[in-house]
C-alpha cells in the first residue's frame, strides 16, 4: 500500500489561480498604506494593492476547503498494524485573528487506528485546511484533533502544535524567540496515562 498521495494530487500547499481584484479591495489597501504613512501612488507601491489582495486570498484559502474531505478515503490492508501512527514536524503558517499577524510553527499529529488508516499526507492537508484561515492556536489545535477523531473514529488522537506569533514577537510586548505550545488528547491518549506518555515520548515532548 502506498501511504502517500500520488504526484497527480498536487502539492500540499499550492497557490490559487490568479484572480481579479475588486476595485474596493485595492482601495482598502491604498487606504491602509496612507494610514501607515506612505504614498500608494509612488512607483514601488503601485502594484502593492493587487499583490496584497491576492496574497490574502492565498493565506485564507482554507475557507474554500473542507478538511474532513481529506479523510474520506481510508485503507484496511495494514497487515494487522494497530499501533500509533505519527506525523511529526509538519510546518504550517496561519494568521492570528486578532491582529492578522503571521503564526509560524509546526504540528505533530498522531492517532491510534482501529481497523483502518489514512494516507499520511492527508493529516498534513487537514492541518493546512484549518491553518489557512484566521485563527487562534488553541482553536486550530482543537479543530485538527476533532476532525480526525470524528472522521477516522480512532482509538485515540493526539495533536501538539508549537508556534511563534508575530503579534507578540514583532509588536506589542515585542518579545522575539518565544514559542507557544498547545495540545489536545482524545480517546486513550486522554484516558490512559501509559498511552499518553508513549505518544508524547514519540513526539519528543
Asked if 150 and 184 count as a contact pair (C-beta separation under 8 A), the reply is no
128 in catalytic set:
no
Tens digit of pLDDT for each residue in 140-161? 999 999 999 999 999 999 999 9
User: Which candidate in 61, 97, 116, 162 is catalytic?
Assistant: 97
How far, in Å, CA of 70 to CA of 66, rounded?
8
Supply the pLDDT for residue 1: 42
61 in catalytic set:
no
Report the candidate in 192, 2, 202 with the shortest Cα–Cα distance to residue 108.
Answer: 202
165 in catalytic set:
yes
User: Which candidate in 95, 128, 135, 137 is catalytic?
Assistant: 137
Cα first-last separation, the chain: 30
What's the predicted TM-score (pTM) here? Answer: 0.89
Q: What value does the mean pLDDT of the chain take?
A: 92
Asked if 142 and 28 count as a contact pair (C-beta separation under 8 A), the reply is no
Q: Exposed, middle or buried: residue 58 (CB in 10 Å: 0-12, 13-18, 19+)?
A: middle
User: Which candidate in 96, 135, 147, 198 is catalytic?
Assistant: 96
How far, in Å, CA of 175 to CA of 188, rounded?
37
Dihedral sign from CA coordinates of 27, 131, 179, 104: negative
Supply the pLDDT for residue 173: 85
98 in catalytic set:
yes
pLDDT tens-digit profile, the chain (205 residues): 444 443 334 445 565 667 899 999 999 999 999 999 999 999 999 999 999 999 999 999 999 999 999 999 999 988 888 899 999 999 999 999 999 999 999 999 999 999 899 999 999 999 999 999 999 999 999 999 999 999 999 999 999 999 999 999 888 888 888 999 999 999 999 999 999 999 999 999 8
How far, in Å, CA of 132 to CA of 143, rounded?
12
147 in catalytic set:
no
Amino acid at each position: 500500500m502506498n501511504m502517500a498521495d500520488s504526484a497527480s494530487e498536487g502539492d500540499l500547499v499550492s497557490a490559487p489561480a490568479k484572480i481579479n481584484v475588486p476595485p474596493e479591495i485595492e482601495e482598502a489597501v491604498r487606504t491602509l498604506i496612507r494610514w501607515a504613512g506612505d504614498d500608494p501612488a509612488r512607483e514601488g507601491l503601485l502594484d502593492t494593492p493587487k499583490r496584497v489582495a491576492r496574497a490574502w486570498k492565498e493565506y485564507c484559502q482554507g475557507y474554500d476547503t473542507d478538511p474532513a474531505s481529506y479523510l474520506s478515503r481510508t485503507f484496511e490492508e495494514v497487515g494487522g498494524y494497530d499501533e500509533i501512527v505519527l506525523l511529526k514536524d509538519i510546518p504550517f503558517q496561519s494568521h492570528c485573528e486578532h491582529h492578522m499577524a503571521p503564526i509560524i510553527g509546526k504540528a505533530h499529529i498522531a492517532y491510534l487506528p482501529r481497523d483502518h488508516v489514512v494516507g499520511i499526507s492527508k493529516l498534513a492537508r487537514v492541518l493546512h485546511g484549518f491553518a489557512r484561515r484566521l485563527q487562534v492556536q488553541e482553536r486550530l489545535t482543537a479543530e485538527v484533533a476533532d476532525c480526525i477523531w470524528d472522521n477516522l473514529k480512532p482509538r485515540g488522537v493526539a495533536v501538539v502544535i508549537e508556534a511563534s506569533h508575530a503579534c507578540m514577537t514583532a509588536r506589542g510586548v515585542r518579545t522575539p524567540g518565544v514559542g507557544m505550545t498547545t495540545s489536545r488528547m482524545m480517546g486513550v491518549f486522554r484516558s490512559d496515562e501509559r498511552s499518553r506518555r508513549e505518544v508524547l515520548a514519540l513526539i519528543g515532548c
